[in-house]
A and B are shown apart, each in its own frame.
Chain A
Amino acid sequence: MSGLRVLFVDDEEELVSAVVERLQLRGIEAMGATAGADALRLIERETFDVVVVDVKMPGLGGLEVVRQVKAQHPTLQVILLSGHGSYADAEEGRHLGAFDYVEKPIDIEILIDILRNAAAATERVDR
């Protein structure tokens, strides 16, 4: 899917760089961040269609990122990444306005399907 701009956020740098590269190889414009605060700064500077953020991170966690993104950029879609044992947080994230959540380990094709659905939902809202 060309033209889709995605920000991927997780505190594991190796995970971020690998996922970002895999998305790029599939024609998606992807950027990465390893902290919630860095992600929020990037969102102010760049334009993204979807933000994918891990629920559990040191400092600003995924849920706080959802809160702040939805307060500042209501149409920007956020997808939460949930690991083992953080499904309750992921559900809470949906209540806060997250579009969906993806469980780790990530299946890149499933992630891309959800990214497309999220971007399409934004387009529907914009129309």
Chain B
Amino acid sequence: MSNSKSPLTRDDSIAFFGTIIAGQSHEVTNVFNIINELAGLQLDLSRAQEDGLPVNLPRLREVTTRIQHQVHRGESIIRNINGFAHSVDLPVAVFDLKEVLERVLFLAQRSARLVQVELVSDLPQEPIVLESNPFCVLQAVFTSIELALGCASDIRRVELGCVVREDGAEIRVTSADRLTTDEKTDERLESLQLLLESIGGSVVKRPGDEPAGVLALRVPRHHGAESG
């Protein structure tokens, strides 16, 4: 197995990187916009004294708490962007797959919210240690979630799960609605397959295999091993 990617998957990776950074920068901007308004409200409330009115201290404290909450929200976004950016540091690294899946879940929440789909997870409690390319895994799982989100019609719920196997892990993205089969979906599935093959993995289930739409991604425990 080679670490080099075909031009097709390299382009997909650059597009994926752009999608994540663009989406998360919007999230950070939202936080700044809210802080701007809450700080403005704080100023408005503190100016009451200038109008001869008593300053409502409990109210001011409440607004301050709301600002602090937004700061924590911003920190969480930045922490995940940072973790995401560092996933390209090494082509092969030892990492906890559970952490990577939690990061994808966080990064994909914006996409889910915009299409009004509930994105949930059912992940093992214990760490899942893999030696692989964390960026490729992130990209493969995110792509699968986007495919599932795009197919959500009636139930509008997508779940991210993971089963530990002897030879690695099987990551499952399950849409409560059946995954559609069209040209665009097929193209994305092909790219997904190429991407997983570059790390010795595979997509082992296809849309329509089960009543619900399931995409199961197999990732080997060790770089260079085949997972089947």
Contacts and interface: CB of A to CB of B under 8 A. Distances in A.
Contact of B33 (A15, A21, A58, A85): A15
A14 B26 contact: no
Interface stretch (A43-51, A89-97, A102-110): A102-110
Chain A CB count within 10 A is highest, among B25, B30, B34, B115, for B34
Contacts, number: 51
A18 B41 contact: yes
B117 to A, nearest CB: 10
A15 B26 contact: no
Contacts of B44: 21-22, 25
Interface in A16-30: 18-19, 21-22, 25
Given A58-B114, A59-B116, A83 B38 contact: no
Per DSSP, are chain B's interface residues mostly helix, strand or loop, or mixed?
Answer: helix
A106 B32 CA distance: 11
A124 interface: no
B114 A105 contact: no
B70 interface: yes
A12 B26 contact: no
Contacts of B115: 58
Given A58-B113, A58-B115, A83-B26, A106 B33 contact: yes
A127 interface: no
Contacts of B26: 83-85
Interface in B15-64: 22, 25-26, 29-30, 32-34, 36-38, 40-41, 44-45
A83 B29 contact: yes
B66 interface: yes
Given A14-B66, A18-B41, A25-B44, A104 B114 contact: no
Given A14-B70, A59-B116, A104 B41 contact: no
Interface residues of B, number: 21
Given A58-B114, A58-B116, A104-B29, A12 B34 contact: yes
A1 B142 CA distance: 49
25 contacts: A12-B30, A12-B34, A14-B70, A15-B30, A15-B37, A18-B40, A18-B41, A19-B37, A21-B41, A22-B44, A25-B44, A25-B45, A58-B115, A59-B116, A83-B26, A83-B29, A83-B30, A83-B33, A84-B29, A85-B22, A104-B29, A105-B32, A105-B37, A106-B33, A106-B37
Interface of A: 12, 14-15, 18-19, 21-22, 25, 58-59, 83-85, 104-106, 108
Interface of B: 22, 25-26, 29-30, 32-34, 36-38, 40-41, 44-45, 66, 70, 113-116
